[in-house]
Amino acid sequence: MNKKLFFKQLNLYPTQLFKFIHSIESNDLLLLNEIIKAAAELPTNFVEYYTFPFQISKLPCQDIKQILISKKAWIILRHLEYIPRYNILMSQLLNELKLSELKISNKFFNPASFIFISSPNFITPFHIDPEHNFLFQITGKKEVLVNDASVSPLITSSEIEDFYADEFGYSLSFSPDYLAGLTPIKLDAGEGVYIPFTFPHMVFNGNDISISYSLTFRTKMSEHHRRVHLANRALGLLGLRTKKYGESQFRDSLKSQLFPLLNFVNVRKKYSDF
Ligand SMILES: [Fe+2]
């Protein structure tokens, strides 16, 4: 890497949104041709191709560029760290984050890396993610619209509870009224944004093909948030009224400890819904 990650504000991690500067856009592994090779190396369930209105599960690699230009398409490569050379890249970035003044401790887990490739003017739907997310813009421009959930949350605790109960299958509903509550973050190649876990966001791609790299991980803090929300959901399913996350530290701590037991209620509900 040519230059270190650069953060203007150091006191915002891990609970606030902020932009940063990076230089990984010049890494050969993040060129479209290299990414296409990586897509062929990953297990098929780690590569998702979407075109609208149809979802396509597998496309011939040589057609990807053409499809990106001629149609509205979105390609996601998940868990790139399964490929050794991308695992090295992820480890380098994690080391830079640990050495940076953000004071990211060693106590993170489940680090993962993703690549998103989008057609010109593609819109990524409004959603939330369960992990701390460092999003690096590699090629093209995009605007990330993020709801600062620490100040004026647009979604309710019960929506977050339902999301945690089905992290892959849950889709967040969106109202045009939400637009006023979203902070626009413009990203050029060489820029990035840190999005705290469960901050709702959507992405408007610019006029060119966009490539972004995402580095995510979980921490004790994000896991506590997940466990308390899932415990609250379970208590709700049992017909018990309870305080929301954050209203009582003592109860949150108790719920987090009881989570393994309470979560059986969520699991039973999930399978009874099938
Ligand atoms: Fe996201």
Tell me, what's the pLDDT at 1?
46
**Burial profile 146-163: b = 16 or more Cβ within 10 angstroms, e = fewer:** bbbbeeebbbebebbbbb
Tell me, what's the pLDDT at 274?
63
Distance of CA 11 from the midpoint of ligand 1 (Å): 22
CA separation for the pair 236, 205 (Å, rounded):
39
Backbone angles phi, psi at 158, to 5 degrees: -70, -30
Tell me, what's the pLDDT at 55?
61
pLDDT for 126-164, tens place per residue? 999 999 999 999 999 999 999 999 889 999 999 999 999
Distance of CA 127 from the midpoint of ligand 1 (Å): 6
Tell me, what's the pLDDT at 73?
84
Single-letter code of the amino acid located at 32: L
Distance of CA 107 from the midpoint of ligand 1 (Å): 22
CB-CB contact of 195 with 128 (8 Å)? no
| Cis peptide leading into residue 125 (ω within 30°) | no
Distance of CA 129 from the midpoint of ligand 1 (Å): 5
Tell me, what's the pLDDT at 2?
46
Distance of CA 187 from the midpoint of ligand 1 (Å): 14
DSSP string across 5-16: -EES-SS-TTTS
Single-letter code of the amino acid located at 171: S
Tell me the β-bridge partners of 134. 194, 215
In order of start, what are the domains of the chain with their CATH numbers? Answer: 6-219 (2.60.120.650), 223-272 (no CATH)
pLDDT for 191-231, tens place per residue? 999 999 999 999 999 999 999 999 999 999 999 999 999 99
pLDDT for 235-250, tens place per residue? 999 999 899 999 999 9
pTM equals 0.91
Distance of CA 201 from the midpoint of ligand 1 (Å): 7
Distance of CA 239 from the midpoint of ligand 1 (Å): 32
Confidence of residue 110 (pLDDT cuts 50, 70, 90): very high
Tell me, what's the pLDDT at 36?
87
Average pLDDT, the chain: 89
Res. 60: pLDDT tops 80? no
